[in-house]
């Protein structure tokens, strides 16, 4: 158990809909990262928050947004969903931003868009 909690574990929805994925980082971790894993694209970095502030953006679509709250949990909002958004979405946390420490990953939220 990495200590990172993601909900929901599975989500099935229809095209055009909006969903929110939630992440609770390990106790004390200030950094939260979101990654998308799909068969064709592999593991793609989406966005990084450190202590409530956005610090880096990767290949995140404009239809996607995220935030980190004062209690350090984070939410990833996916809107106007398309079939191609079906993927496993990971949240990962670490105490620092950058550095030599590894990222601790949650179990992921598997999104299926029908």
Partner 1 sequence: AQKITQTQPGMFVQEKEAVTLDCTYDTSDQSYGLFWYKQPSSGEMIFLIYQGSYDEQNATEGRYSLNFQKARKSANLVISASQLGDSAMYFCAMREPLSGYSTLTFGKGTMLLVSP
Among 33, 64, 68, 72, binds partner 1 (CB under 8 A): 33
User: Alpha-carbon distance 20 to 6, whole Å?
Assistant: 11
Among 7, 13, 38, 45, binds partner 1 (CB under 8 A): 45
DSSP string, 11-25: EEE-TT--EEEEEEP
Give 79 or 86: the residue with its C-beta nearer to partner 1: 86
How many degrees, rounded to 5, is the angle at CA 55 between CA 53 and CA 58? 130
# residues contacting partner 1 (CB under 8 A): 26
Binding mask 61-80 for partner 1 (x = CB under 8 A): --------------------
């Amino acid at each position: 158990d990495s200590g990172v909690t993601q909900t929901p574990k599975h989500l099935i929805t229809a095209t055009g809909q909006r969903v929110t994925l939630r992440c609770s980082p390990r106790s004390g971790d200030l950094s939260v990262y979101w990654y998308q894993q799909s068969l064709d694209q592999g593991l793609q970095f989406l966005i990084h928050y450190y202590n409530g502030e956005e610090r880096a953006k990767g290949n995140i679509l404009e239809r996607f947004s995220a935030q980190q709250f004062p209690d350090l949990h984070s939410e990833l909002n996916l809107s106007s969903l398309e079939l191609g958004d079906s993927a496993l979405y990971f949240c990962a946390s670490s105490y620092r931003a950058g550095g030599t420490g590894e990222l601790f990953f949650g179990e992921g939220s598997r999104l299926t868009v029908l």
